[in-house]
Structure 1
Amino acid sequence: MDTKSMIIDNATTLFQKKGYKGVGLNEILKVCKITKGSLYHHFPNGKEELLIACLRLMNETIKTKMAGIFHKYPSTQTATVATIELMLDDFERDGMITGYTFSSIVYEMASLSEPVRNACADSFSKIQMIVSNKLVEDGFSKESADSIALMVTASIEGGILLCLAQKSSDPLKIVSKGLPNLLKEF
């Protein structure tokens, strides 16, 4: 792995665990075992440029995971439940959910940085598109599918935040039970 990719991988893990503001430049340097000059060689605009690179990596990772899950299962209902079950496994094992969300970064940074907000908005759009496309395969109109995909995404993201705040997997378990019923109503 090249140095730039290694920096992005390590910083992504740190940002997901501690948030953007919770990770100092010195911590990134220490974990990556690089100098400040090396970091600025790859990311001349500093930590925010690195964050955007991390968001792009998370976006691709999340999109690939979700696309794989949604392709594997026959309906939006079963794919959504399977996605949430993987998140629950992560939460119950690690006490956090990484690899499926970047909500904490959105909360922290979206109002402070337009480039970060745009990167986050793009990622959420891609997630919603995966859900929407599956709903269209299930027979929903494109308009209904887009609306439902937004509700599904918002429910899961909200469930993730509540799990972290409450230190309990119960919110996502409730979302997992409720979303399939909601999808049946449409």
Structure 2
Amino acid sequence: MDTKSMIIDVSTTLFQQKGYIGVGLNEILKTCNISKGSLYHHFPNGKEELLIACLQSMSESITTDIEKIFKRYQTTQEATQVMIEQLIDTYNREGTIAGYTFTSIVSEMASLSNPVRNACSSLYIKMQAIYSEKLVADGFSKETADSIAVMMTAAFEGGIMLCLTQKSSHPLKVMLQLLPKLMRID
């Protein structure tokens, strides 16, 4: 792994664990075992530029996982059920689902930085597009599919945050029972 990728991977984990404000450059330098010059060589604009690179990396990882699931299953209902089950399994196995959400970063930084807000918005838009496309294939109108996709994104982000704060997979188990039912065309 090259230095830039290593800095992004390590920093992503630190940002997810401690938030943007809770992680100082010195901690990133120490954890990565690099010099300040090396960090600024790869991220000339500093910590915010690094955060945006971390968000972009998370975006690629998250959307790739979602796309794989949604392409593998015939309906949105089936794909959503499998996705929630995988999140529950991850939480139960690891005690966290940090790699699938960045809500804590959004709540900290989105109002303070337009570039960070835009990077976060881009991921949410990509997620919603995946959901909406599958819902349209299931027979929903584009307008209804787009609305449900927004609700799905909010439900996933909220469900993950509830699991992390409650230290329980119960919120995702509730979603598993209810969310797929909302994707039926009557």
- In which range does the TM-score fall when normalised by the shorter chain? over 0.9
Partner of 2:96 in structure 1?
A: 96
Distance 1:161 1:185 in 2: 29
Check conservation: 2:140, 2:185, Cα contact below 8 A: no
Partner of 1:141 in structure 2?
A: 141
Partner of 2:43 in structure 1?
A: 43
Deviations 1:98-139 (A, max 9, x none): 322211111111111111001000100000000000101111
Partner of 2:123 in structure 1?
A: 123
Check conservation: 2:63, 2:127, Cα contact below 8 A: yes
Distance 2:13 2:85 in 1: 21
Matched positions, count: 186
- Corresponding letter in the other structure for 2:86: L
* Range that drifts further, 45-54 or 100-109: 100-109
Partner of 1:81 in structure 2?
A: 81
TM value normalised by structure 2: 0.96
Partner of 2:17 in structure 1?
A: 17
Partner of 2:176 in structure 1?
A: 176
How many Å apart are 1:72 and its aligned residue? 0.6
Distance 2:146 2:51 in 1: 28
Distance 1:174 1:22 in 2: 32
Distance 1:99 1:111 in 2: 22
How many Å apart are 1:70 and its aligned residue? 0.4
Distance 1:172 1:147 in 2: 21
Check conservation: 1:127, 1:153, Cα contact below 8 A: yes
- SS of the residue 2:31 aligns to: helix
- Corresponding letter in the other structure for 1:5: S
CA RMSD of aligned residues (A): 1.2
Distance 1:117 1:10 in 2: 21
- Corresponding letter in the other structure for 1:152: M
Identity of aligned residues (%): 66
Distance 1:63 1:164 in 2: 21
Distance 1:84 1:23 in 2: 30
Check conservation: 2:81, 2:176, Cα contact below 8 A: yes
How many Å apart are 1:185 and its aligned residue? 5.7
- Corresponding letter in the other structure for 1:56: Q
Structure 2: which 5+ residue stretches go unaligned?
A: none
TM value normalised by structure 1: 0.96
Structure 1: which 5+ residue stretches go unaligned?
A: none
* Range that drifts further, 148-157 or 9-18: 9-18
Deviations 1:57-115 (A, max 9, x none): 00011110000010011111111111111111221122211322211111111111111
Check conservation: 1:128, 1:149, Cα contact below 8 A: yes
Distance 2:109 2:160 in 1: 18
